[in-house]
């Protein structure tokens, strides 16, 4: 049921946003004059006045507000509200007061009095009257804030958001601003026409089939509609207050790893507990269950949480997590519990601005690639620090592109070395194939880089690469701005040692036999061997790849 409500809210919201964008586009045309405004407005009339749109918009508005009322009733306290939530709710519940007046003006004039409303008549009757001008500006501002915030935080949980967020923000801010400027320009032009053209006002009213009863009928209709809305809102708030008062008598405690304890109303979400105590808790989608950044590990009291619904289960299924992992924004506590936050707000911000992390800390089968520049210590001793940094940055830039192009996750740069992970989401076979193809292209790219830097290098750069496959612990590690997705374990250590062995063997790459098998590598032209690595009791079968000749 919760997922159905969430889907209904999203679909109705996008419907409202689409129709609103048509109106704002017509308003924006006012920048170029009333004639342009009327032309664009008439072009959109076919869509806005169509029977489908006539019924869809009111239906979408009703569904959206029913979903909002439902969310309001399910909240036991407003103290845990974030600034975003206050902005969204306040603008959302104020908006109908202005929309009702707008619909009453348009609907009564067209369907009751048979008038033909256009921009000229609206500006003639309302522009210049302080209360009506304030009404128009407030309606645009509230609509822009509410719809803009909704779109921004909905899209923020999408993987591609980071690449387009600047453009999205630009559009969300510019669209209502242009509409406001268009309305101001149109209103001023209408005032000038009324002042300079004596018969203009009469002509506009005549063409619109103006009715003397319009003002009175509009005020009565909008007054009744506003009274009805305020009555419903008052009833919902009263019910919520009664339910909240009863629930407050049944408080529970949520405990955190640092010993902090938060008392909250029974039935509230775990995220509300964090917000209530001002505990930094990642929540990219602002508690709508569309991302997974608020997830927590329930150390104690998991059985005292409401069962997962379908929406929460769908989000967490990506992590193959156990039942003790819950979305804090969806998990409602019916008793005392203790939780650990799995993602810090700092890391969530990194993800929103380009991070690729998608995993709870877990044991996972992956492919690990290590590479290192040969003789770099001697290379750097005879150069200025600036030159060393310049060459290193060029090298890292080119190698990083190759790794990402072949589906690898660039874990870290260590001095002049590189660590990359493959197979995080594509499986071992594909990951092994991607790693070996990346290695091959790294050699080709290095040849090109050496050619470009001939004047800066006494000798061409050489690298060694080690690739191994196996299980490792993959998860978020670090502190604050240094948080990142990485892997630790024997597989990582083995890949690093294989890379180090390329110096002794004098080859370009050493990969384990497991990697070769997973990738289906043709080893007929390669040399095999067995290496007894430090800390190992049994030799590891490997394959050596010589330095490839320049192409």
Average per-residue pLDDT in the chain? 82
> What pLDDT, on the 0 to 100 scale, is given for residue 358?
43
> What pLDDT, on the 0 to 100 scale, is given for residue 357?
42
> What pLDDT, on the 0 to 100 scale, is given for residue 425?
78
> What pLDDT, on the 0 to 100 scale, is given for residue 541?
94
Residue 411 belongs to what H/E stretch?
strand 409-414
Say which residue the tokens 């506009």 belong to: 204
- C-alpha closest to that of 368 among 418, 415, 414, 413: 418
pLDDT, mean of residues 519-544: 88
**23: Cα within 13 Å, side-chain hemisphere:** 20
Residue 236 has pLDDT above 70, yes or no: yes
Question: Does some domain include residue 308?
Answer: yes
Answer for the pair 484, 477: CB distance below 8 angstroms, yes or no.
yes
Q: Which residues pair with 368 in a beta bridge?
A: 421, 468
Q: Which residue has the higher pLDDT, 507 or 346?
A: 507
At 34-46, the pLDDT tens digits run 888 888 877 776 6
Name the domain boundary from 246, 267, 299. 246
Q: How far apart are CA 472 and CA 343, in angstroms?
A: 20
Structure tokens at 156: 């923020």
**Whether residue 391 is found in the same domain as residue 341:** no
Q: How far apart are CA 91 and CA 99, in angstroms?
A: 12
**Whether residue 381 is found in the same domain as residue 494:** yes
**Whether residue 332 is found in the same domain as residue 409:** no
**Whether residue 211 is found in the same domain as residue 72:** yes
pLDDT, mean of residues 77-84: 67
- C-alpha closest to that of 470 among 390, 387, 536: 536
> What pLDDT, on the 0 to 100 scale, is given for residue 1?
61
- Scanning 74-118, the segments in alpha helix (DSSP H) are 83-107
Structure tokens at 109: 């004039």
Bridge pairing between strands 540-545 and 261-265: unpaired
By residue count, the chain amounts to 551
Quote the Cα angle for 514-515-516, to 5°. Answer: 90
Q: How far apart are CA 295 and CA 271, in angstroms?
A: 9
**Whether residue 187 is found in the same domain as residue 263:** no
Question: Does some domain include residue 550?
Answer: no
At 513-527, the pLDDT tens digits run 999 999 999 888 889
Residue 528: Cβ-neighbour burial (10 angstroms; 0-12, 13-18, 19+): exposed
CA 63 to chain CA centroid, Å, is 24
> What pLDDT, on the 0 to 100 scale, is given for residue 79?
62
Q: How far apart are CA 86 and CA 89, in angstroms?
A: 5
Q: How far apart are CA 275 and CA 263, in angstroms?
A: 12
Question: Does some domain include residue 125?
Answer: yes
> What pLDDT, on the 0 to 100 scale, is given for residue 337?
94
State the pLDDT confidence band at 281, using cuts at 50, 70 and 90.
confident
Question: Does some domain include residue 491?
Answer: yes
Name the domain boundary from 208, 224, 246. 246
At 169-213, the pLDDT tens digits run 999 999 999 999 998 998 889 888 888 888 888 888 888 787 777
> What pLDDT, on the 0 to 100 scale, is given for residue 161?
75
Answer for the pair 361, 474: CB distance below 8 angstroms, yes or no.
yes
**Whether residue 240 is found in the same domain as residue 272:** no
Question: Does some domain include residue 538?
Answer: yes
At 112-165, the pLDDT tens digits run 777 777 788 888 877 777 777 787 788 888 888 899 988 988 887 676 776 788
> What pLDDT, on the 0 to 100 scale, is given for residue 280?
79
> What pLDDT, on the 0 to 100 scale, is given for residue 346?
46
**Whether residue 281 is found in the same domain as residue 333:** yes
State the pLDDT confidence band at 76, using cuts at 50, 70 and 90.
low
State the pLDDT confidence band at 350, using cuts at 50, 70 and 90.
very low
Say which residue the tokens 């808790």 belong to: 281
CA 175 to chain CA centroid, Å, is 21
pLDDT, mean of residues 21-48: 82
Q: How far apart are the first and last CA of the chain?
A: 61
Best-predicted range by mean pLDDT (258-267, 408-417, 466-475): 466-475
pLDDT, mean of residues 490-503: 92
> What pLDDT, on the 0 to 100 scale, is given for residue 267?
82
> What pLDDT, on the 0 to 100 scale, is given for residue 359?
46
Name the domain boundary from 224, 246, 268. 246
Question: Does some domain include residue 469?
Answer: yes
Q: Which residues pair with 295 in a beta bridge?
A: 327
Kindly report the CATH number assigned to the domain that includes residue 71.
1.20.1300
**Whether residue 344 is found in the same domain as residue 402:** no
Kindly report the CATH number assigned to the domain that includes residue 455.
3.30.70.1230
Residue 59 has pLDDT above 70, yes or no: yes
Structural domain boundaries enclosing 491: 357-545
- C-alpha closest to that of 71 among 295, 283, 237: 237
Say which residue the tokens 């704002």 belong to: 24
Residue 465 has pLDDT above 90, yes or no: yes
* Torsion of Cα atoms, 431 then 433 then 435 then 439, to 10°: -170
- Scanning 383-489, the segments in alpha helix (DSSP H) are 385-405, 428-452
pLDDT > 90: percent of the chain: 19
Question: Does some domain include residue 73?
Answer: yes
pLDDT, mean of residues 229-237: 85
DSSP state, residue 327 = E
Please, what's the b/e burial string for 108-139 (b: 16 or more CB within 10 A of its CB; e: otherwise)? bbeeebebebbbbbbbbbbbeeeeeeebbeeb
> What pLDDT, on the 0 to 100 scale, is given for residue 50?
60
Q: Which residues pair with 464 in a beta bridge?
A: 372
Q: Which residue has the higher pLDDT, 97 or 253?
A: 253
**Whether residue 227 is found in the same domain as residue 295:** no
pTM: 0.51
State the pLDDT confidence band at 55, using cuts at 50, 70 and 90.
confident
- How many domains is the chain partitioned into structurally? 3
Residue 479 has pLDDT above 70, yes or no: no
Residue 356 has pLDDT above 60, yes or no: no
Structure tokens at 280: 């930094």
- C-alpha closest to that of 421 among 496, 479, 483: 496
**Whether residue 13 is found in the same domain as residue 105:** yes
Q: How far apart are CA 115 and CA 117, in angstroms?
A: 6
Question: Does some domain include residue 551?
Answer: no
pLDDT > 70: percent of the chain: 86
Residue 22: Cβ-neighbour burial (10 angstroms; 0-12, 13-18, 19+): middle
Say which residue the tokens 């990951």 belong to: 431
Kindly report the CATH number assigned to the domain that includes residue 283.
3.10.20.30
**Whether residue 325 is found in the same domain as residue 451:** no
**Whether residue 321 is found in the same domain as residue 446:** no
Cβ neighbors of 160 (< 8 A, separation 6 or more) are none
């Amino acid at each position: 049921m919760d997922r159905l409500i969430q889907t209904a809210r999203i679909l109705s919201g996008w419907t409202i946003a689409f129709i609103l964008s048509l109106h704002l586009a017509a308003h924006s045309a006012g920048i170029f004059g009333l004639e342009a405004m009327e032309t664009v407005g008439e072009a959109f009339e076919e869509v806005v006045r169509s029977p489908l749109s006539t019924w869809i918009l009111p239906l979408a508005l009703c569904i959206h507000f029913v979903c909002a009322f439902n969310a309001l009733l399910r909240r036991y306290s407003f103290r845990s509200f974030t600034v975003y939530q206050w902005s969204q709710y306040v603008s959302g519940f104020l908006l109908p007061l202005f929309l009702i007046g707008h619909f009453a003006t348009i609907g009564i004039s067209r369907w009751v009095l048979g008038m033909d409303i256009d921009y000229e008549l609206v500006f003639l009757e309302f522009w210049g009257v302080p209360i009506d001008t304030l009404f128009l500006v407030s309606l645009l501002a509230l609509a822009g804030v509410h719809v803009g915030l909704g779109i921004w935080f909905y899209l923020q949980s999408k993987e591609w958001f980071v690449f387009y967020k600047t453009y999205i923000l630009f559009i969300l801010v510019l669209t209502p601003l242009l509409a406001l400027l268009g309305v101001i320009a149109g209103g001023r032009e209408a005032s000038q026409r009324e002042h300079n053209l004596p018969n203009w006002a009469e002509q506009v009213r005549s063409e619109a089939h103006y009715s003397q009863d319009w003002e009175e009928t509009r005020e009565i209709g909008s007054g009744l509609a506003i009274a009805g809305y305020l009555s419903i809102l008052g009833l919902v708030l009263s019910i919520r207050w009664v339910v909240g008062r009863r629930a407050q008598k049944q408080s529970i405690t949520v405990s955190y790893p640092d010993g902090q304890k938060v008392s909250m109303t029974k039935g509230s979400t775990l995220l509300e507990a964090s917000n209530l105590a001002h505990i930094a808790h990642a929540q990219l989608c602002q508690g709508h269950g569309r991302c997974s950044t608020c997830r927590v590990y329930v150390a104690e009291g998991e059985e005292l949480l409401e069962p997962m619904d379908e929406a929460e289960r769908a989000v967490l299924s990506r992590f193959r997590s156990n039942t003790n992992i819950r979305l804090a924004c969806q998990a409602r506590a019916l008793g005392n519990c203790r939780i650990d936050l799995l993602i810090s707000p700092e890391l969530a911000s990194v993800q929103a601005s380009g991070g690729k992390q998608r995993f709870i800390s877990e044991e996972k089968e992956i492919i690990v690639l290590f590479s290192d520049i040969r003789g770099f210590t001697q290379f750097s001793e005879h150069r200025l620090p600036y030159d060393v940094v310049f060459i290193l940055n060029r090298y890292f830039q080119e190698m990083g592109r190759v790794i990402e192009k072949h589906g690898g996750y660039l874990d870290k740069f260590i001095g002049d070395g590189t660590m990359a992970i493959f197979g995080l989401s594509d499986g071992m076979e594909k990951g092994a194939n991607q790693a070996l193809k990346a290695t091959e292209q790294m050699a080709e790219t290095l040849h090109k880089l050496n050619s470009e830097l001939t004047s800066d290098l006494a000798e061409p750069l050489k690298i060694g690469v080690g690739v191994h496959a196996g299980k490792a612990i993959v998860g978020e590690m670090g502190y604050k701005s240094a948080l990142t997705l990485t892997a630790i374990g024997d597989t990582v250590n083995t890949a690093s040692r294989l890379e180090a062995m390329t110096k002794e063997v004098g080859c370009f790459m050493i990969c384990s036999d497991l990697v070769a098998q997973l990738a289906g590598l043709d080893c007929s032209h390669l040399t095999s061997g067995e290496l007894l690595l430090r800390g190992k009791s049994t030799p590891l079968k490997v394959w050596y790849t010589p330095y490839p000749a320049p192409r």
